[in-house]
Every structure is written in C-alpha cells, then in structure tokens.
Amino acid sequence: MVAYLIRRLLATIGLLFVVSVITFSIFFLVPKWAGATPDSMATRYVGRTATADVVHQTAVRLGFTDPFYVQYADWAKGLVAGRDFDMGTSIEHCPAPCLGYSFITAQPVLPDLLDRFTVTFSLAIGAAVIWVTAGISIGVLSALKRGSLVDRFSMVIALAGVSMPIFWTGLIALSFFSYRWGITAVGGAYTPFTQNPALWAWDLMLPWVTLALLFSAQYARLTRAGMLETMNEDYIRTARAKGLRERTVVTKHGLRGALTPLLTIFGLDFGLLIGGAVLTESAFGLNGLGKYAVDGIRANDLPKILGVTLFAALFVVIANLIVDLLYAVVDPRVRTK
Amino acid sequence: MTLTSEEQQPAPANGGGRFLDVRDLKVHFPTDDGLVKSVDGLSFHVERGRTLGIVGESGSGKSVTSLSVMGLHKRGAAKISGEILVDGQDVVASSDEEVRRMRGKRMAMIFQDPLSAMHPYYTVGDQIIEAYRIHNDVSKKKARTHAIEMLDRVGIPEPDRRVDAYPHQYSGGMRQRAMIAMALSCDPDLLIADEPTTALDVTVQAQILDLIRDLQREFNSAVIIITHDLGVVAELADDILVMYAGRSVEYGTAEQIFNEPEHPYTWGLLGSMPRFDRERSTRLLPIQGSPPSLINVPEGCPFHPRCRFEQNTRGLAKRERPELVDTGRGHFVACHMSQAQRQQIWRDEIKPKL
C-alpha cells in the first residue's frame, strides 16, 4: 500500500514536470519561432510610451534574455526552494512553493490562486452534490420504469440537458431569477463560506443548478444504462430468490453494482471542474480559477497560466488517486492480497 | 389436453401429500417474433423427501419451469397459466408480496454458475446472513453464527474465517457449497437445483451431488434437480421427467426411465450418454437434428422431425399431438406407437446398442 502510494506520488511529480515544460515551451518557443525577440516580448508588460531602454530592462528583469532552460530552472527552483525577485525598486523574497509574480500586476500568484480556488471548489462541490443526487435518482427511476412515460420524459429532459450549452442556460437562468424576478443577487454574487454559510449557498444556488443540469443529465443516462445492465445479472435473480423485498434488491444489490463505473467518471469530472468551470464562472461573474486562467491567457501572463495549469493537473491527478483508492473499498475484487 | 386429474399422475411412493403440485403449467413469452411457448402444459409433483429429476436439451423449458415455481418471472413479460401448488398455496394466483414471503423459506434455489449468482461486492457470510434474516427475526450476531454453522455443514473448511471471504476468493466447488448453504439457510421445504454441477470440475461434481443428497435426507425436503446430464439424475433422482419442447414426453420412476424407457427421445438421450463400462471405440448415438424453435413448434408430435420411428405411426405423428398416457404403474409416455411396439423396439433395437 505504501509502495503503491509512493509510486503514484512519483508519477504525479513526473506528470507535473511534463505539464509545466509543455506550458513553458508554448509560451516561449512558439513566439520565438514566429520571430519574437526578448525585447519585443517584453513590450507587452510596459506602458505604451516606454523607451527601448525600459523595455530592455524589463526583458532582463523578467528573464526573457536568458536561455529557455535557465528560465525554466529558475521557475522550478522557486517552486521547490523559493526565490528572490528584483522588483526594480526592491528585492522581494518569494518562499516555496513559489509560483512567481504576475508579469502584469507584480502580485504573487499563489495567494491569488488559493483565493480563487475556494470559489471554484465551492461551485464544484455544491453542483456535484446536486448532480449526483438528481442524476442517480432519475437514472434509477428510468431504469426501473423502463419504457414508461416517466422514463421517456426524463430521458428527453436529459438529452436536452446535455445538449444545452452552459453559457446559454446560465444566462437564461440569470435573466429570470436574478434580473426579472429578483430572487437572487443581480448578475450573481459570491459570499465566502466562512463569512456566512447560508448566504454562500444562496448566492451559489443558481450556478450550482445550472452546472448540475448539464452533469445530472449525463449521470442520469449513465446510471440508467448501468442499472439496466446490473438488474439483468444473475446475482440479482439470486437476491430475489432469497425473498428480498424489491426495494432492497434494487438499492443494495442493483445500485451497488451500477455505481462503481460512475465513480471513475465522477473523479474525472470533479477533477476537471476544479481546474476551472470557465463558462459557468464567466456567466455568473464568479472569480474562480477558470476566470483567472482566461484573464492570464488574455494578458499573456505566464506565471498565472502556469499556476492554474499546474493546479488543474494536480487536482485531476488527486481526484483520480482518490477514485482508485475508493475503488478498492467499493470493489473487493481489485483489492491486493 | 394434458393431465389435470389426480388419477392420471403417478402415485406418490410414500403415500404422503404432494408438497409441490404443478398442474397444466403454461409459460408463454410474447416477443416481436411471435409467441414463445417455453412451457406448454406441464404437470408434475414432488413429495417431501423425494427427488425429481427434470431432463431435456437446452431450450426444452427446464429452467423456465423452475423459475415459475419460484415465482421469478416478470408479471408483464411472461404469460403464466395453470397451477403451481406449493404446500397447497398457488404461486400463480398469489400476489407478488405473498410469493416473495414464500421464496427462500418454502422454496429455495441453487443456480448454475455460483460465481455470477453471488454478489461480487458482499462477503459470502453477509449474503447468507441476509438470506437468513429475511425470514428469521434475529440479531446480526446470531445470524452470523448460523451462517458459520451452515458453511461448516456444507463442508467448507475453517468456516469461521471463510465466512468473511468474498465469492471470488472461493474455488468453484466451494462457491457452489456456499450457494447451497445460502439456499438452505432458512431450512426450505423445497429445493430447486438448476444445473448445480454444470459449471464445476468433474471431480467436484460428485461431491456436490453427495452433499445435496445428504442434506436432503437431513432436512427431509423435496428436491427438484434440473439437468441435461443423465448421470446426475441417475445419481440422485427418485422420479424423472423428460421434457421436450416445453412438454413432458416421458415421466416415471428412475428405474422405469433407465431400465424400460419407452419414448424415442429418451432412447436418444440414453444413447448420447458416454459410458465407462463400454469399449472406447463404441460410438455414441446422438439424436439427429436440433431442438425445435419454441415459436414454431412442429405440428403433431413435436419430436417427429427427429424421430427415427415416425413412419411406424403411419403419418399420425405429423398430424396429432400424442397425449401423455399412463402405461400402468405410474409410467407416462407421450408417443403414438403402441406400447407393445415401443417395448419391442427397446428390447430388440435400442437396448443391445447401448
């Protein structure tokens, strides 16, 4: 077990290394191939009226004049051991794990990132609770009443849910609940959980439901398919032959088998969502990781982009690790001897 | 019409009441391709302490019959008529809830493949405990003790440790033993074993059959054993029902079926059985052709397209379905040939070749 965890940890480090190298390469090598010089790249981060001298100083300060591998090594060193930054007027120490300072705002990236993370996590966790509950119940119901009106109706709704883009459903929801009926804060709002949990939930309700609509539709379809399959298994017949109530047969024997594959998909979805629910965050004006990434990309702000990318990768890996460990709990057949 | 009246059926050997009495059972499945007549007018009965073997090829309706007795067919999917009296209570006419209460307690079932028939996510012990607690209001701890006792009874070594193992950690034979322990946990009056040894090693098969026989004696239950293996039936059964295309073609005591079979299909089954006491070079005598589609059962005698003696009936077998008739001493045969003719063919043609 310990050996397994160490192996997974090493794999994670390797993965993060590859992800950061690729991000770095795209940022530096692609412009270079297109003919950009260190100075021309630095012009983005100084005022319009800056002299060539100032531009060159900025290029040196941001490290653009160093070779690619030196820049990467500097950045990586900051992540592991911390790093000093020349801010022009003073030297700032950035302790490990240091993700650097924004090229634009000269603010350290990590505190911002953690701040944004709480918003995205709040969004993801609430939505996940809703979509898992709704998706699985609708899926089970559809499977048990297969071919009935309930089944057809919910599957049509599910198809619509999957098909509707979130920026559309989000805006529609906002226009009714927020602007027209004034039930929720105008244009969306966010209150930190630590400040007021009730308001936190109330403000996030609309984004939660919107995001959950998309996912619950997908989970309902998956649950339905899984249930239809497991309810035909021999062990379900055995459970009935024992004289179990149909409700016990469905929940204890049927659902248990049908839910295992869903766990894998849930791990992936949740991990990806933490990396940024860009569309939902944009639609509801939530300052989450997705929006942070988009802002970083728009401004060519490498430390921000790198920070979000690493964070997202890390969460996908962690979510998958948790799923793999849970799998051993759920399915005794995958447990090691 | 098949038998419905009491007098037409073999008299119970021990004179006791019929624990299971199936009368004119029909199980039809409407499908897009047509009506599948899986079981079409079947009657039989079993007493406590007796074993009935139901034999026939795949698709002859054996398993469908057993699932009907357990009340495990979906109400909508299957059209069931006739009577299935379990200790006087009709499974066909009872409500779902009434039948559910009977399952496991009045009648229990052992399935063919114990690996797929046990839930992979629960321990063997949990599955036996669950079965026991449905019909017995006891604590988990008591039920666990009972489960360990049952595992011990069916010959699982170290039952107090094995009770916490999962089905995949058992060997094939042990799984079937555990399955039997589960089925017997509520001391059922009727035990149905649907091909209990088919998925097992030959060496384990005999042990499982011995176990079923011992347990039957101990619990004095009625047993139905469903199989396509005449060897299994020879080992266990007191009475034998030979099924073909959803109907009974021959029904009698094991001695009658093995020593003086009268139906050409039974002859075919006996001829298909490998024998140790014959020369290696002797070829088996398979039944030609394959079982009929249950949607388009041949007119007349359903066996006539495959029957070597069909011409003896002068065309009658093509037109008319033979009745299952008592030839005396509770031996029933559904064949158009006269009894004298059948006995002669058996004596002169079939028996010497077997």
The predicted structure's pLDDT at residue B238: 94
The span from the first CA to the last CA of chain A, in angstroms, equals: 11
Closest CA of chain A from B354, distance in Å? 38
The reply to whether B120 touches chain A by the CB within 8 Å rule is yes
The predicted structure's pLDDT at residue B244: 93
Residues from chain A that touch B109, judged by Cβ atoms under 8 A, are 241
- With a cut of 70, which residues of chain B have pLDDT below it? 1-16, 278-282
Which of A237, A330, A333 is the closest to B72 by Cβ?
A237
The CATH architecture annotation of domain A109-334 reads Orthogonal Bundle (1.10)
Residue A24 CA to residue A46 CA, distance in Å, equals: 21
Q: Phi/psi at B248 (nearest 5 deg)? A: -90, 125
User: Judged by CB atoms within 8 Å, which residues 244-273 of A form the interface with B?
Assistant: 244-246, 253, 256-257
The alpha carbon of B333 is separated from its chain's Cα centroid by a whole number of angstroms, namely: 18
Verify cis geometry, omega within 30 degrees of 0, for the bond prior to A97: yes
> From its phi and psi, is residue A290 left (phi > 0), alpha (psi between -120 and 50) or beta?
alpha
Q: How far is CA B118 from CA A85, B107, B115, B201, in A?
A: 64, 18, 6, 19
The reply to whether B121 touches chain A by the CB within 8 Å rule is yes
Token duo for residue B190: 């009727």
Residues from chain A that touch B108, judged by Cβ atoms under 8 A, are 241-242
Q: Decide if B134 and A257 are in contact by the 8 Å CB cutoff.
A: no
Q: Decide if A239 and B120 are in contact by the 8 Å CB cutoff.
A: no
Residue B76 CA to residue B145 CA, distance in Å, equals: 40
Q: How far is CA B53 from CA B237, B261, B271, in A?
A: 5, 15, 18
Which of B100, B113, B118 is the closest to A245 by Cβ?
B100
User: Mind giving me the DSSP string for B146-190?
Assistant: HHHHHHHHTT-SSHHHHTTS-GGGS-HHHHHHHHHHHHHTT--SE
* Angle, CA of B323, B2 and B67, to the nearest 5°: 125
Amino acid identity of residue A83, one-letter, is R
The reply to whether A241 touches chain B by the CB within 8 Å rule is yes
Which of A234, A246, A330 is the closest to B113 by Cβ?
A234
Which of B109, B121, B131 is the closest to A332 by Cβ?
B121
Is A188 in contact with A203 (CB distance < 8 Å)? Answer: yes
The reply to whether B111 touches chain A by the CB within 8 Å rule is yes
In 3D, which of A105, A100, A66, A64 has the Cα closest to residue A85?
A100
- Residue B193's DSSP bridge partners are B110, B225
Residues from chain A that touch B63, judged by Cβ atoms under 8 A, are none
Q: Give B301-317 pLDDT, tens digit per residue.
A: 999 999 988 888 888 88
Report, as an integer, the average pLDDT of A177-200. Answer: 83
In 3D, which of A32, A57, A117, A102 has the Cα closest to residue A299?
A102
The predicted structure's pLDDT at residue B58: 84
The reply to whether A176 touches chain B by the CB within 8 Å rule is no
Residue B295 CA to residue B306 CA, distance in Å, equals: 17
The predicted structure's pLDDT at residue A194: 85
Q: Decide if B135 and A256 are in contact by the 8 Å CB cutoff.
A: no
Residues from chain B that touch A234, judged by Cβ atoms under 8 A, are 111, 113, 116-117
Check whether A70 has a pLDDT greater than 60: yes
The ipTM assigned to this model is 0.86
Quote the DSSP letter at residue B168: G
Report, as an integer, the average pLDDT of A34-39. Answer: 83
Residue A179 CA to residue A186 CA, distance in Å, equals: 6
The predicted structure's pLDDT at residue B5: 42
The predicted structure's pLDDT at residue B223: 95
The reply to whether A242 touches chain B by the CB within 8 Å rule is yes
Helix or strand (DSSP H, E) at B24: strand B18-31
Q: Where are the domains of chain A?
A: 2-94, 109-334
Q: Give B112-164 pLDDT, tens digit per residue.
A: 888 899 999 999 999 999 999 999 999 999 999 999 999 998 989 999 999 99
Report, as an integer, the average pLDDT of A225-251. Answer: 92
Is B80 in contact with B24 (CB distance < 8 Å)? Answer: no
In 3D, which of B148, B122, B124, B143 has the Cα closest to residue B132?
B143
The reply to whether B118 touches chain A by the CB within 8 Å rule is yes
Residue B327 CA to residue A103 CA, distance in Å, equals: 102
* Residue of chain A whose alpha carbon sits nearest to that of B104: A242
Closest CA of chain B from A239, distance in Å? 8
Closest CA of chain A from B117, distance in Å? 4
The span from the first CA to the last CA of chain B, in angstroms, equals: 34
The predicted structure's pLDDT at residue B161: 94
Within a 13 Å sphere around the CA of B352, how many CA atoms are in the beta-carbon half? 5
The predicted structure's pLDDT at residue B2: 44
Considering chain A, what percentage of its residues have pLDDT values greater than 70? 99
Report, as an integer, the average pLDDT of A56-61. Answer: 84
* Residue of chain B whose alpha carbon sits nearest to that of A337: B169
Residues from chain B that touch A333, judged by Cβ atoms under 8 A, are 120, 166, 168
